[in-house]
Structure 1
Amino acid sequence: MVFPRKGVLVALVTTVVLVLIGFPLWIASLFGLMGFLGTGGLQYCKLFIRTFPVDLWMGKNLLAMMKKSNRVKKENLYVSDLFQETAAKYPNKVAIYFEDRTITFRELDVLSNKIAHHFLAQGFQRGDAVAMCMENCLEYIPVFLGLSKIGAVAALINYNLRQESLTHCIKISSCRGLVFNSSLGGAVKEVWEDLDPGVRDHAYSVGGDAGIGGVSQLEGLLESVSASNPPPVHGKSSDDNVCYIYTSGTTGMPKACVMKHDRYCTLPDGVTEFAGVTADDIVYCTLPLYHSNGGMLATGQMLFVGASFALRKKFSASNFWTDCIKYKCTVFFYIGEICRYILAQPKRPTDTQHCIRLIVGNGLRYEVWKDFIERFKIPQVAELYGSTEGNVGLMNSLNKIGACGRISVILPFINPVAFVKVDENGGYIRDSNGFCVPAAVNEPGECMGVIKKSQARFKFHGYTDKSSTSKKVMNNVFRTGDSYFRSGDILRMDEEGFVYFCDRTGDTFRWKGENVSTAEVEATMAHILELTDVVVYDVEVPGNEGRAGMAAIVGTRDTVDLSTLPRQLSLSLPPYAVPIFVRLIEAAELTGTFKLRKVKLRNEGFDRTEVTDPLYMLRGSSYVPLTEELHEQLLQGTIRV
C-alpha cells in the first residue's frame, strides 16, 4: 500500500479552508483528520500499526548488515580475512564435520595457508582463476580459502557436468589451474586433451590418484609447504573477484556469475541477522558447495559467525535425521526438493529426536511446508528468494507459510525491490510515457532490483561474459536514468509486504533444485538425433517441486531410438537436465521470426486426453510408452520421477 498522498492533501485543504472561514483550529484539524481517514488514511494507519514493529526489526538488522558491509569496503577485506578473525576467536572448536573426520578452525586456517603457499609457488597471483570441480568433501573449503588468501579466484564448477559443458565452464573463466576429486577422474580424462596446456600443467587431484598422467595429488604436495600466513596481497580490494558460480541462465551454456569479496562477505549476514544463526549452532549442509546456497549462505555461517559445519557428500533422505542427531545439528539448509524427499520417508522415531530449531532455504511449497514442520516439529523456517548473480535478496523468517520474503510497505526504501507488470509472453507492459507499470497488491509481476553501486547488496556484477550481463540490466524502468536487474521471475506481494513466488519467465525452468536451460538441452538432443527441430519445455508433475523437462521430437518410433537416447544424453548433460517425458510429433510449429512455439506444447504437457501423439516417459535407463496405467500413477503421485 502506498502512502495516501490524496488523504494528506484533503486533510490540509479542509483544515486551511475551515480556519479561513472562522472555525477554531481544533475543529478544523478534527475535520481534516476525518478527511484523511476517509480517503485512505484509516487503512494506512491500521497497516502501519500491524507492520511497523516488524519493519523496525528489519531496519535494525539491515543497519547491522550495512555496518559490516561498510567495514569490508573501507578496509578492503577478503573472505579469508574475516575467516581468520573467526578462527582467532574459536581456534580449537570444530569447524567442519565430514563423515568421521573433523577439522578445527585453527587446522582449517593452517591447511588453507599451505594451499595458498603451494599456488603462490606455482606462480598464481591475484586475479588468476582455478577451476574447482569437486564434490562435497573436507578439502573443499580449505582449497577455496587458500585461493582467497592469495587473491586467486575459485571457479566453482558443477561436478555433474561432462564433456563440452565441462570444458566450456573451465574456458569461459580463463582458468589457469584445476583441482578435482579423484572420483571425477573419468570426467576430467574425457576433456583432458581439450584443456589449455596451462591448466593441464597445474591440475591436481584430491582424495587419491586420478589415473591421469601429469596430474599430481594435492595432499602429497602440501607436506613440506609452509603453514604460515601467506604474504599480503598487493593492491587487494574488496571489489576483487573471489569466485565464479555458474548458472544456466535463460539460454545457452552455463554462464559464470561474478562474485566479489564484498558481496560474498555480506550476503550470509542476511541469514545471520534475520534468521538468528549464532556461533553456538551446528549447521547441517547436504547441498552442493558449488551452489550459492551451500557454498556461500550455509558456509558463510561457519566462516564468519563461527558456527560448526556438518557437511555431507550427497543428500540422503534415509540418513538425514540420523546425521542431524549424530552431529547434534541445530540448523540445516534446504531446497524444496530436499524437504519433499524427507517427508516421503516412512515415519521413524528419529523424526523428532533431533535438535533442529531452524531450517533455511528456498523452494518450499505451501503443501509441503505445513506437513513438514508439523511432522518434524520444526520451530522456525527461513524461506529465501534470490539468485546467484542477482541483487534481489528476500527472506521470510517469520513463519509465514508459503512466503519467500517480506518487504516493508511503510518503509519501502529499506529494500527497494520492484514488481512490474508483464503480459502472458513475458513482455513488459508500459504506460503512455514508455515506462514500466508497477504491479498492484497481489498482482503477479516480474521482480526487479534497483542497481546501486554504493552498496554491495545492490550491486550487479553480472557474468564474465559482458553481453550476457547487459541483457540482465534494464534502464529507464520507472524514470529516465534508473537501472534495474531483471530477475526473470514472477512474484507477487500481499498487502502486508509478504512476497510469494509465482513462476519463471523465459526458457529456463527448475527441476531437482537446479536450473535447466532448454536451449542447451535442445542443442544436445538435436546433435545426438541429427534433427533440426527438437522442442524442450517444462511441465508440471503432481506432487513434485519444480517443473520436469519434456522434449517434443520431430520423428517417429522408427527414426528415433528411445531405448538408447537416455544413455547418450547422460554423457553430455547432468542427470537433472535429461527430459523426463518425450513426445514424437510430425512437425514443429514456428513463429513469424522462426522461433519454436512452446506455449501450446507446455499447456498440453503429457495429458493423454489432450495429446494424440505418442508419449514416452523415462523409466530407468530408457524411455517407455506412457500407458494409461503410468499416466494414472503420475497423477496420483504413486510413482517417483
Structure 2
Amino acid sequence: MAASPLPPPSQRPSSTSGWIGALERTARIDAQPERIFPRVIDELATRHGTAPALIGTDETLSHRDLAARQNRYARWALARGLVKGETVALLMTNRPDFLAIWLGLTRVGVRVALLNTNLRDRSLAHCIDVAAPRLLILEADLAEAVASAQPHLAKQPDIVWQGPGAGGPSLAEAAAGYSEAPLQAGEGPAVTVRDEALLIFTSGTTGLPKAARVSHHRIMMWTHWFAGLIDAGADDRMYNCLPLYHSVGGVVAPGSVLIGGGSVVIRPKFSASAFWRDVTETGATVFQYIGELCRYLTVAPPDPFERRHALRLCTGNGMRPDVWERFRERFAIPRILEFYAATEGTVSLYNVEGRLGAVGRVPPFMARRSPALIVRHDVETGLPLRDAAGRCVPADPDEPGELLGRLSAKAEHSFEGYTSAEETSRKIVRDALQPGDAWMRTGDLMRKDAQGFFYFVDRIGDTFRWKGENVATTEVAEVLGHCPGVLEASVYGVAVPGSEGKAGMAALTTGASFDIDALHAALAEGLPAYARPVFLRIVQDFAHTETFKQKKAVLAAEGFDPERIGDALYIDRDGQYRPLDPATYAAVGRGDVRL
C-alpha cells in the first residue's frame, strides 16, 4: 500500500518538537505527587490573574475566578461531610461551572462521575447505579432526564440542584459564603496523583456504558502532554463544542490550553451554520474536533466567515483522509494534529508530522516509553490470535490487527480499569509475547505501515461509531426489547456513503401489537439521538449459531438496499420511520438525505 503524502516541508512542524514539548511538560508529574490539577489551577490564578480562562455563553471566568470558585466548592464539599473516596455524580450541560465543580470536589478527594446528558430512562439509571454516588449534582434544566431514570434506580442519591429554576437551594448559593483562597495544609485530606478523580463513561467494545476510573495522574498526563504537543500559550484560545462529560472535551481540550495561560471558549453543542462566525468572532486559535464535525463543515454551504478565522491548529481524532484534505484546503487550516487515545487506554498515538490519514506513530526515541503492538485478530473468537506456543502473533506491516498497549507498574502505563472487576479483567491479555507480560486490549483494529505510521481500520465486536459516539448494540437492543410488539431485535452498524462511522440498523421480529410509530416514540424517549436506529428491517426470523447467538454479520453485509432485501425496510426521517424504497435509497447514496 502506497504511503500517504506528507505536507510540504514548509508546512510541517519539526518531527521532534511536539514530542519534546510533551516530555518537558510532563517531566515533573511523578516527582510532585501532591501537585494535582486543582493545585495547578491555583498556580495559574496567581500567574494569569484576570485574564480570561473559561468563556461560556452566559458567563466568563478569569483564571482567578476559576480558582476562587473551585476552592469554594471544595470547602462546601468538606462542610457537607463528603469524605475522600466518596462519589458525587454530575449531570450538567456545557458551561464553565461544570469544570469548576469537578475541580473543586476532586481537590478534596471526592470522585466525580461525569454523566452523559443525552441519556434517559434505563441507560441513565444504569450509569448512576454503577457510580453509586452519595450525591447527584443536577442542573435544573435536566430534571426530566433524572425523573425518567428514577423508577429504574437501585438507590436514589440525594440531589443537589444547580442553576436557575432549581427545585431547592442551589449549589452556587450554598457555596457562596466559603473562602476562595487556596486550601491550606491540613484543610481537607491529603490527595495525590495516585488517587482517583473522575469516573468517565465509555461504551467500550461491548455492553452497556462502563465507568472508567481516571486518576489525578491521568488528568495531569493528559493535560500537560497535550499542552506540550500543541505548544499552548497565553495568547491561545481553544474553541470547544465537545461534551464536557467526555475525556477529550472535558479534560484534554480545556486543560491543555489553561496550562499555557490561555482560554477556552465553551459552547453547548456544535452548530455547522454558526461555527465559522463564532470561531472568528471569539478569536479562537485552536479547535478541538472529532472527525464527524469536520465532515459536517466540509459539506455545509459556503460561509462568509469560513476563511476569516485565526485558527493555527485543529486537533482531534477520527478525521477521514478524504475529509482531511477538503477540510484543510477549503478552510485554510495551517495544521491538523490527529491523535488516537481512549479514556481508559494505556497507549496513545500522535500524528505530529501531519501524515494524511494516519492516527500517529511512536518515534524510535519514544518506543520504550510508549510501546504499542498490533497482533493478528481471530475473527471467530474475537480475541487476539495465538500460535502453537500460545503466544500472540504480531501483525505484518500493513496487516490489520488489534492494537494492544503494554502494561507496567509505571503510572502512565497502568490500566486503571473500570468499576467492574469483570470488565477490567476482560480488557487484559496476559502472556502475549512472553510469560508474565500483560497488555491492554484497545478493541480497535489498526494497521502500521513500513514507516511506523498507524492507521485506524475498525472497531472489534458489536460496538460501532456514529455521530462521534460509540453505540453499544446491546444497550439499543435492550430498549427495543421493552417496546410493545417487538419479539427479538438484532442491532448492528451499516456503512452509509459519505458518512463517518456506521449508522445504526435494527432487524426486528414483531408480534400483533407492534406499532412502528409507538416504537419511534419509545426510542426517542429511551435513547440518545446518536444511538437510535436510522434503519429498520422487519424479518420473519433470525439465523442463530449453535449457541443461540444471532448471526449479525450477514444482516450487516446486506445493509439497507431494498433491491437486495425482500423484507420491509424503514428509514428515520422527519420524526418518524418511513418506508425505504429504491428512490430514497438512491438519495441516501448521493448524500441528498441528512441522517
Q: TM-score band (shorter)?
A: over 0.9
Corresponding residue for 2:573?
619
Taking the aligned partners of 2:134 and 2:391, their CA distance within structure 1 comes to 45
Corresponding residue for 2:348?
393
Cα gap change, 1:220 to 1:59, in 2 (>3 Å): closer
One-letter amino acid of the counterpart of residue 33, structure 2: E
Cα gap change, 1:566 to 1:417, in 2 (>3 Å): same
Corresponding residue for 1:373?
328
One-letter amino acid of the counterpart of residue 163, structure 2: G
Equivalent position SS for 1:533: strand
Corresponding residue for 1:27?
none
Q: 2:172 aligns with which of 190, 209, 219?
A: 219
Cα gap change, 1:410 to 1:262, in 2 (>3 Å): closer
Task: For residue 348 of structure 1, report the CA deviation from its aligned partner.
Answer: 2.1
Corresponding residue for 2:44?
86
Corresponding residue for 1:602?
556
Cα gap change, 1:116 to 1:487, in 2 (>3 Å): same
Gaps of 5+ in 2: 1-12
Task: For residue 574 of structure 1, report the CA deviation from its aligned partner.
Answer: 1.1
Cα gap change, 1:410 to 1:152, in 2 (>3 Å): closer
1:60 aligns with 2:20: yes
Aligned ranges for residues 325-340 of structure 1 at < 5 Å?
325-340=280-295
One-letter amino acid of the counterpart of residue 596, structure 1: Q
Task: For residue 275 of structure 1, report the CA deviation from its aligned partner.
Answer: 2.8
1:69 aligns with 2:29: yes
Taking the aligned partners of 1:97 and 1:543, their CA distance within structure 2 comes to 34
Q: Is the 1:55–1:411 contact (alpha carbons within 8 Å) kept by the matching residues of 2? A: no
Q: Deviations for 1:79-136, whole angstroms, at most 9, x for unmatched residues?
A: 2112212222111110011125211011111111111111211101211111111110
Task: For residue 521 of structure 1, report the CA deviation from its aligned partner.
Answer: 0.8
Task: For residue 234 of structure 1, report the CA deviation from its aligned partner.
Answer: 2.5
Task: For residue 595 of structure 1, report the CA deviation from its aligned partner.
Answer: 0.8
Task: For residue 156 of structure 1, report the CA deviation from its aligned partner.
Answer: 0.4
Corresponding residue for 1:304?
259
Q: Deviations for 1:374-422, whole angstroms, at most 9, x for unmatched residues?
A: 0100011011111111111111122211111112358632421000011
Task: For residue 529 of structure 1, report the CA deviation from its aligned partner.
Answer: 3.5
Q: 2:73 aligns with which of 106, 111, 115?
A: 115
Equivalent position SS for 2:94: coil
One-letter amino acid of the counterpart of residue 175, structure 2: L
Q: 1:541 aligns with which of 496, 501, 504?
A: 496
Taking the aligned partners of 2:154 and 2:494, their CA distance within structure 1 comes to 39
One-letter amino acid of the counterpart of residue 459, structure 1: S
Corresponding residue for 1:130?
88
Task: For residue 198 of structure 1, report the CA deviation from its aligned partner.
Answer: 7.0
Task: For residue 61 of structure 1, report the CA deviation from its aligned partner.
Answer: 4.2
Aligned ranges for residues 264-279 of structure 1 at < 5 Å?
264-279=219-234
Equivalent position SS for 1:161: coil
Task: For residue 575 of structure 1, report the CA deviation from its aligned partner.
Answer: 1.1
Taking the aligned partners of 2:39 and 2:364, their CA distance within structure 1 comes to 37
Equivalent position SS for 1:569: helix
Corresponding residue for 1:180?
138
Q: 1:207 aligns with which of 133, 152, 163?
A: 163
Q: 2:520 aligns with which of 566, 582, 585?
A: 566
Q: 1:509 aligns with which of 444, 460, 464?
A: 464
Q: 1:576 aligns with which of 516, 530, 541?
A: 530
One-letter amino acid of the counterpart of residue 160, structure 2: Y
Taking the aligned partners of 1:355 and 1:411, their CA distance within structure 2 comes to 32
Equivalent position SS for 2:182: coil
Point out the more displaced range, 346-355 or 81-90: 81-90
1:591 aligns with 2:545: yes
One-letter amino acid of the counterpart of residue 43, structure 2: E
Q: Is the 1:563–1:621 contact (alpha carbons within 8 Å) kept by the matching residues of 2? A: no
Corresponding residue for 1:38?
none
Point out the more displaced range, 155-164 or 228-237: 228-237
Q: Is the 2:277–2:306 contact (alpha carbons within 8 Å) kept by the matching residues of 1? A: no
Point out the more displaced range, 529-538 or 493-502: 529-538
Task: For residue 75 of structure 1, report the CA deviation from its aligned partner.
Answer: 2.9
Taking the aligned partners of 1:194 and 1:631, their CA distance within structure 2 comes to 39
Q: 2:128 aligns with which of 157, 166, 170?
A: 170
Q: Is the 2:84–2:109 contact (alpha carbons within 8 Å) kept by the matching residues of 1? A: yes
**How many residues are treated as equivalent by the alignment?**
580
1:236 aligns with 2:191: yes
Taking the aligned partners of 1:138 and 1:67, their CA distance within structure 2 comes to 29
Equivalent position SS for 2:96: coil
Structure number with greater Rg is: 1
One-letter amino acid of the counterpart of residue 159, structure 1: T
Task: For residue 65 of structure 1, report the CA deviation from its aligned partner.
Answer: 4.8
Equivalent position SS for 1:179: strand
Q: Is the 1:136–1:312 contact (alpha carbons within 8 Å) kept by the matching residues of 2? A: yes
Taking the aligned partners of 1:559 and 1:629, their CA distance within structure 2 comes to 30
Point out the more displaced range, 380-389 or 527-536: 527-536
Aligned ranges for residues 511-526 of structure 1 at < 5 Å?
511-526=466-481
More helix by share: 1
Taking the aligned partners of 1:99 and 1:237, their CA distance within structure 2 comes to 34
Corresponding residue for 1:17?
none
Gaps of 5+ in 1: 1-52
- Sequence identity (%): 37
Equivalent position SS for 1:630: helix
Taking the aligned partners of 1:227 and 1:196, their CA distance within structure 2 comes to 37
1:470 aligns with 2:470: no
Task: For residue 533 of structure 1, report the CA deviation from its aligned partner.
Answer: 2.2
One-letter amino acid of the counterpart of residue 236, structure 1: V
One-letter amino acid of the counterpart of residue 154, structure 1: V
Corresponding residue for 1:442?
398
Corresponding residue for 1:431?
387
Equivalent position SS for 1:528: coil
Q: 2:110 aligns with which of 108, 132, 152?
A: 152
Q: Is the 1:565–1:622 contact (alpha carbons within 8 Å) kept by the matching residues of 2? A: no
Corresponding residue for 1:631?
585
Q: Is the 2:126–2:153 contact (alpha carbons within 8 Å) kept by the matching residues of 1? A: no
Q: Is the 1:77–1:262 contact (alpha carbons within 8 Å) kept by the matching residues of 2? A: no
One-letter amino acid of the counterpart of residue 440, structure 1: D
Equivalent position SS for 2:384: coil
Equivalent position SS for 1:125: coil
Q: Is the 2:488–2:510 contact (alpha carbons within 8 Å) kept by the matching residues of 1? A: no
Equivalent position SS for 1:116: helix
Point out the more displaced range, 538-547 or 186-195: 186-195
Cα gap change, 1:444 to 1:409, in 2 (>3 Å): farther
Corresponding residue for 1:500?
455
Taking the aligned partners of 2:364 and 2:54, their CA distance within structure 1 comes to 40
Taking the aligned partners of 1:193 and 1:85, their CA distance within structure 2 comes to 44
Aligned ranges for residues 253-292 of structure 1 at < 5 Å?
253-292=208-247
Cα gap change, 1:59 to 1:302, in 2 (>3 Å): closer
Taking the aligned partners of 1:221 and 1:233, their CA distance within structure 2 comes to 18
Taking the aligned partners of 1:170 and 1:449, their CA distance within structure 2 comes to 29
Point out the more displaced range, 119-128 or 301-310: 301-310
One-letter amino acid of the counterpart of residue 185, structure 1: A
Q: Is the 1:209–1:217 contact (alpha carbons within 8 Å) kept by the matching residues of 2? A: no
Q: Deviations for 1:583-602, whole angstroms, at most 9, x for unmatched residues?
A: 11111111111111111111
Taking the aligned partners of 1:351 and 1:65, their CA distance within structure 2 comes to 33
Taking the aligned partners of 1:389 and 1:294, their CA distance within structure 2 comes to 15
Corresponding residue for 1:22?
none
1:294 aligns with 2:252: no
Q: Is the 1:564–1:622 contact (alpha carbons within 8 Å) kept by the matching residues of 2? A: no
Q: Deviations for 1:38-58, whole angstroms, at most 9, x for unmatched residues?
A: xxxxxxxxxxxxxxx977556
Provide the TM-score with structure 2 as the length reference. 0.94
Equivalent position SS for 2:560: coil
Taking the aligned partners of 1:195 and 1:563, their CA distance within structure 2 comes to 28
One-letter amino acid of the counterpart of residue 638, structure 1: D
Taking the aligned partners of 1:164 and 1:216, their CA distance within structure 2 comes to 28
